[in-house]
A and B are shown apart, each in its own frame.
Chain A
């Protein structure tokens, strides 16, 4: 078993336009990426659960070229609107750090 925080080299979030946030996990070693991908743990359903959004609203893309996973989902509040907590969307990655991958 391995936590994302211990095996990924990048785990980050950022706005993808004012209404969406995009979360990326990158691996430096393509072999590790392939093993993580083979477990099937990272998928749209996981992001839907972690961020309480409908699975249909999660655009999940494994990107083999970059040994990366990307998930894009709707923000809770549009960037900068009343009640927004993170205008740049740069600090929404943390729930992913503790996801356990059965390697």
Chain B
């Protein structure tokens, strides 16, 4: 029976992998090598700012070895959600890195860039064909207009088309995590159900293995099932490690909504073939009546500054709630004195040692720690105002009086000088909707170039 083998190098391009894993993986003659370049997980900032959450140095290291391996084996190298968020600056930065590596290593190949950033007027015309996700309000023209950047999440079709176009290196903008794997597999004649499931397994590299760390994973599709195996001999795929990953970042473990249909994993079985190879079978694929593309967009919500400090004073710790309430009032009064009314900024104080992790969900109400840490955060319309209110909040937290105070030189330990950190723009997710395009391609134009 015809088989199709794919090698995913890491959880995210730039998270690293063992060079030896890549070498062993390539010796298994995969038909495709690739890595997911991004996620919404690090938050809205990166889509808004047009920057990556991985360093250029680490991405270049991961990419260099992959490009060398792909060119040597004459197989495609596919990067999904390039540059972290898959917008235009992210795609262009990744393309610049590929060109730089090709120059340094004297590599030559045909490259495709698949754009995923969306045009606001186009989307506004399609408002009637959008639908909100996660209980957001319906999309409207004002929300589109306010957005800093909007990306569409491509399915496998544009990626398969780039392969048809002769691209050996494909840099996709924002793409559904499994799509970069489903595309070459389905195009090679594999059935959609195991092809999509293979994508689910490959989207985070060696995460379905134990010990679970960023590294490579091999998946081979054969007929109606697939096998998962880590090339690195220190890792194993076990039914538990694969099952654990099958639950990863999905709202439902059994219904996975993808651009062109639904992957149903209700009746999937995980079977140990050896002590480090797991066979997965029983998945089903149901094509959707309407092809939909997920949209992600962020808008600017202001500018932030933070400071970090801690107290070791038991008298203060015993009355911390009252102290923080008094502090809030003092900051409001002093900020009003320099022309910043309370309604023009927001301040949050996270108390580490009490509820800084779970906030309102924290079930433990009593503080038992001998020290408490604080992260003070101020959000305002400009960086200057955020900095000014934060500076006042910092000095008030250090010097305000409280009942029974013995530590009269200062209430807080500040570990850093400078103490105040301007965080810059705060972006928030404002668009999380789906749109029905005319076809799977119209939102994702492909551009080819000869590199090297």
Interface residues of A (CB under 8 A from B): 9-10, 14-20, 22, 24, 26, 28, 50-52, 59, 61, 63, 65-68, 70, 72, 74, 76-88, 91-92, 94-95
Contact = CB atoms under 8 A, between A and B. Distances in A.
Contacts of B40: 15, 17-18, 79
A77 B426 CA distance: 14
Report which residue of A76, A83, A85, A95 has the largest number of chain B beta carbons within 10 angstroms of its beta carbon. Answer: A85
A72 B254 CA distance: 13
B348 A78 contact: no
Contacts of A74: 134-135
Interface of B: 40-45, 133-136, 240, 243-244, 246-254, 265-270, 301-302, 304, 346, 348, 350, 356-361, 363, 377, 379, 426-429, 432
B399 to A, nearest CB: 26
A79 B268 CA distance: 31
Contacts of B133: 17, 19
A61 B252 contact: yes
Given A81-B428, A88-B41, A95-B358, 13 more contacts: A10-B240, A10-B244, A14-B249, A24-B244, A26-B240, A28-B240, A50-B363, A65-B267, A66-B246, A67-B243, A81-B301, A85-B359, A95-B361
Given A85-B350, A85-B357, A17 B253 contact: no
Contacts of A72: 251-252
Contacts of B359: 76-77, 83, 85
Contacts of B267: 65
A80 B246 contact: no
Most chain B beta-carbon contacts within 10 A, residue among A16, A82, A83:
A82
Contacts of A65: 243, 265-270
Question: Among A10, A14, A66, A72, which residue has the most Cβ atoms of chain B within 10 A?
Answer: A66
A9 B268 CA distance: 20
A92 B361 CA distance: 8
28 contacts: A10-B244, A15-B40, A15-B249, A16-B250, A17-B133, A17-B134, A19-B432, A22-B249, A22-B251, A28-B240, A50-B361, A59-B252, A65-B268, A65-B269, A66-B246, A70-B247, A70-B253, A74-B134, A78-B428, A80-B427, A81-B426, A82-B428, A83-B348, A86-B357, A88-B41, A91-B358, A92-B357, A92-B361
A93 B350 CA distance: 19
Nearest to A72: B251
B359 to A, nearest CB: 5
A74 to B, nearest CB: 7
A63 B246 CA distance: 10
A94 B358 contact: yes
Contacts of A82: 301-302, 304, 346, 348, 377, 379, 426, 428
Contacts of B361: 50-52, 76, 92, 95
Nearest to A79: B43
Contacts of A66: 243-244, 246-247, 253, 270
B357 A91 contact: yes
Contact of A79 (B44, B252, B346, B356): B44
Nearest to B133: A17
A88 B250 CA distance: 13
A26 B247 CA distance: 10
The residue among B133, B251, B426 with the most chain A CB atoms within 10 A of its own CB is B251
B368 to A, nearest CB: 15
Contacts of A20: 134, 251
B253 A81 contact: no
A84 to B, nearest CB: 8
Contacts of A67: 243
Contacts of A52: 360-361
Contacts of B134: 17-20, 74
Contact of A63 (B135, B254, B348, B427): B254
A22 B44 contact: no
B358 A59 contact: no
Contacts of B44: 18, 79-81
A28 to B, nearest CB: 5
A52 B361 CA distance: 7
B244 A26 contact: yes
Nearest to A94: B358
Contacts of A63: 247, 253-254
Contacts of A51: 361
A80 B379 CA distance: 13
Nearest to A16: B251
Contacts of B426: 81-82
Nearest to B378: A82
Nearest to A22: B251
Contacts of A86: 357-358
The 7 closest A-B pairs by CB, nearest first: A80-B43, A66-B243, A19-B134, A72-B251, A63-B253, A16-B251, A87-B43
Contacts of A18: 40, 43-44, 134, 429, 432
A81 B359 CA distance: 14
Contacts of A28: 240
B135 to A, nearest CB: 7
